[in-house]
Chain A
């Protein structure tokens, strides 16, 4: 039986040992070799004293070693925690301390950043993947791993944690979303069956590990014994390189944020390349602009397109297969219907179900839902809705914080957020977190951070400040200050200084007015 994610790998390695499991930057690894290397890492971790439920950090750029790392950690019974390679050291130090990580799996090129973590007071026991270092902890090279390729016995069950993904938190620090083997495996099962993924498929891994889109690629892929081609970070930034990789690797299924597809659809990017292998394109993370989808659909007439919806807390919970051809007057795509084995409710502010056409908060009940937020009883208290049952034990739903409605075709429509979370280029950002960091600058008296929609429908983060005692504060100095605690994608594109903010009648900063004002002043540039 397959109960846990390591079971998934053991099963794939037994059935398809010679099949390519992962490839990245020209390096390929079969399911058989992946299982052996994961077991060697697991045995090494156990030798180092890592136990069931312990958190182990994965601090790697994309490489086949990322696959070895996550499976090795889980095979030892431990929990993998991806550390975003682009995040500043202080933010990573927060994550490492928050969930008590003392072992990292990393690589030589990150040694100086790990040294920064130690300087910030992080106490590490060991780092695996460094061939030589000046760190204050034990280091082991990949070649120094245990030679034992047998899978170690553990008391792991499907109810145990498998990974924690940290995401932006509204109070100014990131929060850790905990998933269990059961929730992750359920998602792998749903995706492998819904999208008919099989051993002959070659699927993309576009999202980095700290981004939940990656779990479909790794675990849905392994469930189907498919091959996974990891898209290197540098290819994600250049449309021509991304397009040629998709064609060259003969990918059959693509799962990305809309940005990647917008790049693919950009003029010239797909010219003289052969995309005949592509059968399914899945996109998620934020709404897909119709204009670009239309272009892509015209270029790939044999492909099926799916809008996948679901916050990191629930995994995917609904999806919509785009009708071909796309109707003329479509403005936005529905998020569709729940996957099988998923129940959704839409409720008003008093938790009463709303009528068709009315907007309310989307609640989700499914085996794919997270266990909760790591070490945050305050958040966990508000994260779930308990539907009373006669038995006295309630049905538990996750409160997504997303607004949705049922339309007259019995499809779900998405209407944004209840709070101030935004998606920018696929990244999930709490504007309140960005604002909390900005206002902590000693020269800033008040700050407002808001999203402004750009011409192509993307959201750009903008900020306005009122300066305190200082005469003048340079926007670049403020950005520099913010970059010490926020990842690059969460930094505002512009910061303007104002003498006063528009206010609501209750005296609060009117962020909507600031955003509208900012839009208005951008207008002339478009001419």
Chain B
């Protein structure tokens, strides 16, 4: 899966499962954590989705603002993670 597909998958999950009732579409650069798009329970659900869908484990110390701020940043982090896994194995 390339980064753009990852972004679409993340947006699909967040829009359908978390952004209840929101009418404006979610953008790649929208702040996810600032305005309550995702709350702390939502973060846990997104991590669950990532582990299930992409098979990438997110260690607790990497679940940070720096990696989760926007869909585009999160997708970048996930692509680095999966290349690490491939490279390391």
Q: How far is A200 from B77 in the complex, measured between Cα atoms in Å?
A: 39
| Docked-complex contact A240 and B35, CB < 8 angstroms | no
Q: How far is A388 from B42 in the complex, measured between Cα atoms in Å?
A: 51
Contact of B60 among A267, A479, A482, A491 (CB under 8 A): A267
- In the assembled complex, which residues on chain A have CB atoms less than 8 Å from the CB atom of B41? 425
Interface residue A17 (Cβ < 8 Å from any Cβ of B): no
| Docked-complex contact B36 and A240, CB < 8 angstroms | no
- In the assembled complex, which residues on chain A have CB atoms less than 8 Å from the CB atom of B86? none
Of the four ranges (under 10, 10 to 19, 20 to 34, 35 or more), the interface on chain A belongs to 20 to 34
| Docked-complex contact B20 and A234, CB < 8 angstroms | no
Minimum C-beta distance from A44 to chain B (A): 26
Interface residue B57 (Cβ < 8 Å from any Cβ of A): no
- In the assembled complex, which residues on chain A have CB atoms less than 8 Å from the CB atom of B20? 476, 479-480, 483, 491
Minimum C-beta distance from B43 to chain A (A): 5
Interface residue B38 (Cβ < 8 Å from any Cβ of A): yes
B28-39: CB near A (< 8 Å → 1, else 0) gives 000101111011
Interface residue B21 (Cβ < 8 Å from any Cβ of A): yes
- In the assembled complex, which residues on chain A have CB atoms less than 8 Å from the CB atom of B22? 483
Contact A240 B68, CB 8 Å, known A234-B34, A483-B20, A484-B21: no
Give the contacts of B1-23 with A (CB-CB under 8 A). Answer: 20-22
A257-277: CB near B (< 8 Å → 1, else 0) gives 001000100111101000000
Contact of A237 among B38, B61, B62 (CB under 8 A): B38
| Docked-complex contact A238 and B33, CB < 8 angstroms | yes
| Docked-complex contact A488 and B65, CB < 8 angstroms | no
Interface residue A241 (Cβ < 8 Å from any Cβ of B): yes
| Docked-complex contact B21 and A240, CB < 8 angstroms | no
With a 10 A CB-CB cut-off, give which of A238, A266, A271 has the most chain B CB atoms: A238
| Docked-complex contact B39 and A488, CB < 8 angstroms | yes
| Docked-complex contact A240 and B63, CB < 8 angstroms | yes
- In the assembled complex, which residues on chain A have CB atoms less than 8 Å from the CB atom of B59? 268
Minimum C-beta distance from B49 to chain A (A): 16
With a 10 A CB-CB cut-off, give which of A268, A482, A488 has the most chain B CB atoms: A488
Minimum C-beta distance from A208 to chain B (A): 10
| Docked-complex contact A241 and B65, CB < 8 angstroms | yes
| Docked-complex contact A237 and B39, CB < 8 angstroms | yes
| Docked-complex contact B39 and A269, CB < 8 angstroms | no
Q: How far is A85 from B33 in the complex, measured between Cα atoms in Å?
A: 12
| Docked-complex contact B35 and A86, CB < 8 angstroms | yes
- In the assembled complex, which residues on chain A have CB atoms less than 8 Å from the CB atom of B42? 237
Q: How far is A235 from B66 in the complex, measured between Cα atoms in Å?
A: 10
Majority DSSP secondary structure for residues of B touching A = loop
| Docked-complex contact B61 and A240, CB < 8 angstroms | yes
Interface residue B40 (Cβ < 8 Å from any Cβ of A): yes
| Docked-complex contact B21 and A238, CB < 8 angstroms | no
Contact A85 B40, CB 8 Å, known A240-B63, A268-B60, A481-B21: no
Q: How far is A482 from B21 in the complex, measured between Cα atoms in Å?
A: 8
- In the assembled complex, which residues on chain B have CB atoms less than 8 Å from the CB atom of A197? none
Contact of B40 among A61, A236, A244, A481 (CB under 8 A): A236
Interface residue A298 (Cβ < 8 Å from any Cβ of B): no
Interface residue A412 (Cβ < 8 Å from any Cβ of B): no
Interface residue A452 (Cβ < 8 Å from any Cβ of B): no
- In the assembled complex, which residues on chain A have CB atoms less than 8 Å from the CB atom of B34? 61, 232-234
- In the assembled complex, which residues on chain B have CB atoms less than 8 Å from the CB atom of A271? 61
Q: How far is A41 from B39 in the complex, measured between Cα atoms in Å?
A: 32
| Docked-complex contact A237 and B43, CB < 8 angstroms | yes
Minimum C-beta distance from A22 to chain B (A): 18
Interface residue B64 (Cβ < 8 Å from any Cβ of A): yes
- In the assembled complex, which residues on chain B have CB atoms less than 8 Å from the CB atom of A482? 21
B58-87: CB near A (< 8 Å → 1, else 0) gives 011111111011000000000000000000
- In the assembled complex, which residues on chain B have CB atoms less than 8 Å from the CB atom of A96? none
Minimum C-beta distance from A492 to chain B (A): 10
Interface residue A429 (Cβ < 8 Å from any Cβ of B): no
Minimum C-beta distance from A127 to chain B (A): 18
Contact A233 B60, CB 8 Å, known A238-B43, A238-B65, A238-B68: no
Contact A233 B33, CB 8 Å, known A267-B60, A483-B21: yes
Interface residue A489 (Cβ < 8 Å from any Cβ of B): yes
Q: Which residue on B lies nearest to A272, using beta carbons?
A: B61
Q: How far is A487 from B21 in the complex, measured between Cα atoms in Å?
A: 12
| Docked-complex contact B21 and A479, CB < 8 angstroms | yes
What 8 pairs between A and B have smallest CB-CB spacing?
A86-B36, A483-B21, A234-B33, A480-B21, A479-B20, A241-B65, A268-B60, A237-B40
Interface positions of B (Cβ within 8 A of A): 20-22, 31, 33-36, 38-43, 59-66, 68-69
Further pairs besides A259-B40, A479-B21, A480-B20: 6, Cβ < 8 Å: A61-B34, A234-B68, A236-B40, A268-B60, A268-B61, A271-B61
11 A-B pairs with CB atoms under 8 Å apart are A61-B34, A234-B33, A236-B40, A237-B39, A238-B63, A239-B60, A240-B60, A241-B65, A266-B60, A480-B20, A480-B21
